[in-house]
Amino acid sequence: MPAYKDEERGTWYVKCYYTDYYGRKQQKKKRGFKTKREAKAWEDNFLANESRLPETIFKDVISQYLDDTKDKIAPSTLTYKKQVIEVYIMPVFGEIEICKITPEMVLSWQKDLMKTPCRKRKAQKLSPTTVNHITAQLSAIFNYAVKYYNVSKNPVSIIDRLKGESKTMDFWEVNQFKRALTWISNPEMHLIFQMLFFGGFRISELLALTPGDLQKNERAVFINKTYKLDDGKWIKGPPKSKNSTRLVALPDFLWDELESFVRRQYHLNQNMDIFTVSRSTIRARLEYIAEQTSLPRIRIHDLRHSHVSYLINLGFTIYEIADRIGDTPTVVERIYSHMYQSRRLEIADRIQRENSENNDISTKLVPQRLLRSKDYQYLPRKF
């Protein structure tokens, strides 16, 4: 389209037609250019950007999104994104023009996900929480497209999150854990389970331990690295967060078992991994224990939850627990607040027991001159 001269203002303007996000024909008018060339350049740039939109295939946006994201997130997070996109998103939306993906299509896809078998346990369907995580990945791609591909709206943004039953946290009490230990005869596996339950380590931190991390004077281990999944391979890297770098003191019985085990591994140098057991072997042992006993079936990470539960029952504060497990007090409060509820009730019960010899403790705590006041009956009876 040509540029036009605005005789009244003495400037140039352009007027052109284009196809919008929904495939509708639209008119665009832009005024205020000082020269005809400037007006025409703006029109050419506008049409070039708008005209490419309907022809942009979603898989091309995905490819660019992953390329731009890879240096901004942890390798394990990138691997997770790639898996979700490859398995759940690309087969459905990959070949569709991005402008033609509607909220109705997203909603239909989400409903199909709810019927999809879980990859690890084929007998189970994907949970609402998992479907929400997958949907969040799709939304992230569309947010990227809105920012860089002139897509006007994210069709996922109006889709409500799925509501499911709140999942209870699985963990073992200390007596359950000791019962589970009777089913472990391998010395290395026995030590790993002890370290996970009584040390609260993340499994990737534990498997990255080397003899050089053992601090004999403090009878503690120094957590300064972890294993991360990068493009299908486990590599060592820095800990999960700044708080994850920490010194974890061990009880004497656990330190002695660890030191004895390391001493017997004659081939180890200061930089070699202490443990060689794989995650799958540890998972298999947990499954075996659950099958052979009446103990709850738990994951490896649930042993970390078990450690926190154990510390809460011992009376440690959120700040002490956060320091030990390498998290922030805010995270501990958010994840384990339900466990602290019983501690709050225990505080009230203990106060009650301490004062149980007095049948009317509430009135005894109120000054006698206040009890004689005519206004006392109107005061809230809470202390």
281 alpha-carbon distance from chain centroid: 24
Q: How far is CA 319 from CA 213, 312, 342, in A?
A: 24, 11, 18
Q: Does residue 89 register a pLDDT over 50?
A: yes
169 alpha-carbon distance from chain centroid: 15
Put simply, whether the predicted model's pTM sits higher than 0.85 gets the answer: no
What pLDDT shows up at residue 376?
47
The torsion defined by the Cα of 359, 363, 364 and 369, in degrees rounded to 10, comes to: -150
The two structure tokens encoding residue 57: 């295939």
Burial 88-111 (b: 16+ CB within 10 A, else e): bbeebbbeeebbebeeeebbebbe
DSSP 8: T
Q: Does residue 128 register a pLDDT over 50?
A: yes
Structural domains of the chain, ranges and CATH numbers in brackets: 3-52 (no CATH), 58-148 (1.10.150), 174-345 (1.10.443.10)
3-state secondary structure of 12: strand
Decide the pairing of beta strands 214-215 and 25-33.
Answer: unpaired
The two structure tokens encoding residue 154: 């994210």
How do residues 163-212 score in pLDDT, each as one tens digit?
A: 865 566 788 888 999 999 999 999 999 999 999 999 999 999 999 999 99
Q: Which is nearest to 245 in space by CA: 275, 213, 279, 198? A: 213
How do residues 357-370 score in pLDDT, each as one tens digit?
A: 555 555 455 555 54
On average, the pLDDT of the chain sits at 84
Q: Contact, 146 vs 110, CB < 8 A? A: no
How do residues 316-348 score in pLDDT, each as one tens digit?
A: 888 999 999 998 888 888 777 666 566 666 777
Q: At what angle do helices 58-69 and 128-148 cross, to 10 degrees?
A: 90
- Average pLDDT of 269-278? 92
Q: Contact, 14 vs 32, CB < 8 A? A: no
With a pLDDT cut of 70, the percent of the chain lying above it is: 83
Q: Which residue has the higher pLDDT, 246 or 117?
A: 246
99 alpha-carbon distance from chain centroid: 31
Q: Does residue 85 register a pLDDT over 80?
A: yes
The residue assigned the tokens 């639209």 is 26
Order of strands across the sheet with 3-6? 3-6, 11-19, 25-33
Q: How far is CA 194 from CA 169, 235, 250, in A?
A: 20, 24, 10
224 alpha-carbon distance from chain centroid: 21
